[in-house]
Structure 1
Amino acid sequence: MARVSQEHLDARRRQILAGAARCFARNGFHGTSMQDVLKEVGLSAGAVYRYFSGKDDLIAAIADEAFGSIRRAFEEAAELTPPPTPDRLLGRVLRGVFDRQVYGMERRVCAALVLQVWAETMGNERLAKTLDDGYAGMRAAWGKLVDAYRAAGLMRADVPSDDVARTLIAAAQGFIAQEALFGGVRPEVLENGLRALMSMDPPKSS
């Protein structure tokens, strides 16, 4: 019997995940059944269950990829030398997240799927652990970036690095949420807004 190549196995797994993601994006995690997924991907139950034990396993795999995509965008941006200012940095992160076009879906659909994953973590310990690990990794990477800002004389030293890192992450997360809810989010909007905020001078005391 001919052996199935790893490339074939990986492609089939991606086919299943892509079909499941489209179903989840349309109908939500709880509104999608395994029969819906089977119909979407056009495969037998045996073919799908060879890769995934059920819907929860599919959701976990999609969550891993969603978190991984965001984490990679943050890590890639944080590794730049010299470090870009926050406005350019977050613009780069958002482009990295949105331009990846996860599962070939449109940007707003991808963002909506990310929001669904975030919501699902509230009642799913397995997903919550994945999210916690990814978030900790992003905070560590961006904390190092804050240290680089300070070493270059670009940022004051009296604010904890983690506070700055969490604020940067929150800004990116907020824009992903805006894209999911309203659409039409452009990274340059965030860049312009941050640039304006960064230009503010504190009022002079009389």
Structure 2
Amino acid sequence: MPKISDERRLARRQQILDAAWRCFAREGLHVTTMDDIIRASGLSAGAVYGYFRNKDDLILAALTTSLAGLRERLVPLVTTRPLPAPAELVGAVLGEIAAFTEREGFDLKRIALLGWSESQRNETVRGTMAGFYRAFREQLAAATIVWKQEGKLPATLDEQAAAKALLALILGYVVEAAVLDDVTPEDIRRGVAQLGIGSA
């Protein structure tokens, strides 16, 4: 039997993840079964189980794949120098989140809410998410130090508190967009600018 190429393996894995995301978006994490995902993927049960042992394995893979994709897009925004002003950076981060999460037939922002809920019962999921958010929050803290040095934020600002507030704003956008469906990255960017955050 010919050996499948690495490129083909990655494509099949992504095909299964896309099927899982569609099922999770439609039915939720716990109602969705492996049979649902197998049917949606168009692959055989043996092919799907060759990549993922069970649904928990697939949920974790979907989460880590999403977070890795976001990391690729977001880290350059907060680590490249010179940094844009705070409102502009927030707008850019949210724009990347929107572009990454809006897929054909489903929206990863809605699935993110399911992942956050899952993290309350699954320590592995919680640890994975916490690691990503803590690392990103540290990068936001580093950005606030730069803004302080440039006079865009007060010199007395507590960068850790500011980073926590920025992360809350970013995660809040995900919730608001998923639940209310009437908010855009530009709305948040404009609101932050009009509140005068980072306009010192």
- Establish whether TM, by shorter chain, passes 0.5: yes
Give SS of 1:122's match: coil
* Displaced runs of 4 or more, over 6 A: none
> Residues 59, 120 of structure 1: CA spacing in aligned structure 2 closer, same or farther, 3 A cutoff?
same
Task: Tell me, in whole angstroms, the C-alpha distance in 1 between the residues paired with 2:70 and 2:105.
Answer: 16
TM-score (norm: length of structure 2): 0.92
Pairwise mapping of residues 134-149 of structure 1 onto structure 2 (< 5 A)?
134-149=132-147
Give SS of 2:31's match: coil
Q: Which residue in 1 is equivalent to 2:84?
A: 84
- Aligned-residue sequence identity (percent) comes to 32
Structure 1 position 30 matched with structure 2 position 30: yes
Contact 1:24 1:32 in 2 (8 A): yes
Q: CA deviation at 1:83?
A: 1.3
Which of 175, 192, 195 is equivalent to 1:194? Answer: 192
Contact 2:152 2:198 in 1 (8 A): no
Q: Which shows bigger deviation, 11-20 or 192-201?
A: 192-201
Q: Which residue in 1 is equivalent to 2:9?
A: 9
Task: Tell me, in whole angstroms, the C-alpha distance in 2 between the residues paired with 1:113 and 1:121.
Answer: 12
Q: CA deviation at 1:38?
A: 0.9
Q: Deviations over 1:90-147 (max 9, x none)?
A: 11011111112465445xx221011111111011011001011101110111111111
Task: Tell me, in whole angstroms, the C-alpha distance in 1 between the residues paired with 2:68 and 2:168.
Answer: 17
Q: Which residue in 1 is equivalent to 2:18?
A: 18
TM-score (norm: length of structure 1): 0.90
Task: Tell me, in whole angstroms, the C-alpha distance in 1 between the residues paired with 2:66 and 2:7.
Answer: 22
Q: Which residue in 2 is equivalent to 1:39?
A: 39
Gap regions ≥5 residues in structure 2: none
Q: Which shows bigger deviation, 16-25 or 93-102?
A: 93-102
Alignment RMSD: 1.9
Q: Deviations over 1:1-54 (max 9, x none)?
A: 432110010000000010011000100000101111111112111111100011
Contact 1:34 1:54 in 2 (8 A): yes
